[in-house]
Amino acid sequence: MSAAFDPAQVIREHAGFVWRVLRHLGAPEEQLDDLCQEVFLVVLQKLPTFEGRSSLRTWMYGICRNIAQRARDERKKQREVPTLAMPESGQPATQDRELWLKQAYAHLISALDSLDHEQRTVFVLFEIEELPMEEIALAQDAAITTCYSRLQIARSKIEAELRRRQQRSAFQLIRGGAR
């Protein structure tokens, strides 16, 4: 292993990043912990061959992208989704703000599914992970202008999807209130 990288330190420093990226790339919620471990198994196995042509984060992002894509593909093939936990009960929220944030985040995650792979990647890395566009362009092996174009398209699609969801929710509230 390269003397520059301590495996325990790599895991400590990047665990949150890996978990968030997997989640934002549509990895199944119930598999996030296992997929994080899978990412770090690959990272630790390939770390000695890391050439440093990009930052460690963007290199790890590529590994996350591949693992999340495989997990999404496998999930499409499943008929049932086994879970360990029972579904949440219908208890009223104690904190309106927390409930609103949770719902808004769920809508964002769902809206990310409306993007193609390249748009989603650029949006997640730029808007959520706040990586500089130069690093994103390197990770995507694309021109920086192409990445900015993908970001603009992704923003428009996300905004339209969120607006559509908001209108649908309002309609359902009105329709439900009239009954």
Check whether 110 has a pLDDT greater than 80: yes
- Contacts of residue 14, defined as CB under 8 A and 6 or more positions apart, other chains included, come to 43, 56, 57, 60
Select the more confidently predicted residue: 157 or 76. 157
Q: Report domain extents, the chain.
A: 1-79, 95-179
10 Å Cβ neighbour count for 63?
18
**Mean pLDDT in residue range 132-139:** 94
In CATH, which of 1.10.1740.10, 3.20.20.80, 1.10.3720.10, 2.40.50.100 is domain 1-79? 1.10.1740.10
Check whether 1 has a pLDDT greater than 60: no
Select the more confidently predicted residue: 4 or 22. 22
To the question of domain 95-179 being in CATH 3.30.70.100, the answer is no
Q: What contacts 24+ positions apart, CB below 8 Å, involve 74-82?
A: 75/28, 81/28, 81/30, 82/30
